[in-house]
Amino acid sequence: MKSARPARPAKPVVGITARTVPVTLQGTDMVVSLSLQSHVDFLAAAGCTPVVLPPGPGVEQLVGGLQGLLVPGGPDVDPALYGQERHPRTRGGSPDLDRAELALIGAALEAQLPLLAICRGMQLLNVRCAGTLHQHLPEVTGSDAHRPQGAGFEFGRHVLELRAGSRIAEIFGDDTPKTACHHHQAVDRIGTGLTATARTPDGVVEAVEAVGHPFALGVQWEAGQTEDDRLHRALADAARRS
C-alpha cells in the first residue's frame, strides 16, 4: 500500500486593500474595486497568492485567513481622525475607506500579521498608532520636491538616509534606492510603538516600523510604481515565516 504523499506547502495568502474608483467601460459609467497590477504581479512572483480586499465593513475579520497584508497609496486621510481641522489643500477622501483600512491595520498589528503600508497606508499606520500628519508638506519643507507640479503625474526623487540596524536597512543593504515620491502629506508626530527608520535629506519621514512586531513596515514613497520589488519580496518572506 502506497504511503500518502506529504501535502505541498500552500502559498502564503497576502491581502491587498482595493481602491474603489469610477471608470467608463465600453461606454458605461460604473464604479469598480481594483488594485495596482504591479502589487499583484510582484507578490505572485515572490511566491504568494495575492487577493484583493474590497474595503467594506467587517473586512478586518479576514485577517485570520491571511499571512500578510499590503495597504497601498490613495486619497488623503480625514484629519479629524488625528484631531485636526481640514487644511484647504487636503483632498476629500472616504470616511468608509478610512474606517475599513484603520480596522484592517489594527487587526494586523494585534495578530502580528506581516504588514507593508505604502504612502497613504503608512500615514494610516501612523494615525492608527495615535500619530499625526503634516497636511500640506510644502508649508514644512518650503518646496514641492515630494510632489512635483507638472503637466503629468511626476515623481520626486530622493536618496534615503536609512537607520542602521533597521528592517528597511536590512532590505536594501548598501543599494539604497532613490525614492519615487508623489505626496503632499507626511508623518508629523510619530505614533506610539512606531519608530522612524528612513528620512529624506530634508528631514521628511520616509519609513516607519512597529517596535516588537515581526514585520510591520510603512514607506512613504510609491513602492510598486517602479521596477524595484524588494519590499514586496520582503513582505512575501515574512508571510512565509508567519
**pLDDT, tens digit, 9 for 90 and up, residues 98-134:** 999 999 999 999 999 999 999 999 999 999 999 999 9
Cell triple for 121: 497606508
Please report the domains of the chain, with CATH numbers, ordered by start residue: 13-20+30-241 (3.40.50.880)
Could you report the per-residue pLDDT of 139-148, keeping only the tens digit for each? 988 877 777 7
User: Measuring CA to CA, which residue among 109, 146, 40, 123 is closest to residue 74?
Assistant: 123
Neighbours of 15 (CB within 10 A): 22
User: Measuring CA to CA, which residue among 213, 214, 207, 212 is closest to residue 231?
Assistant: 207
CA 11 – CA 13 distance, rounded (Å): 6
Q: Give 194's strand partners.
A: 210
Q: Judge whether residue 53 has pLDDT over 80.
A: yes
Please tell me whether the overall predicted TM-score, pTM, comes out greater than 0.75 for this model: yes
Average of per-residue pLDDT across 37-50? 98
pLDDT bin (cut points 50, 70, 90) of residue 159 is confident
Specify whether the CB–CB gap between 14 and 43 falls below 8 A.
yes
**In the prediction, which pLDDT does 12 show?**
97
User: Measuring CA to CA, which residue among 2, 67, 72 is closest to residue 38?
Assistant: 72
User: Measuring CA to CA, which residue among 127, 130, 94 is closest to residue 17?
Assistant: 94
pLDDT bin (cut points 50, 70, 90) of residue 155 is confident
**In the prediction, which pLDDT does 3 show?**
52
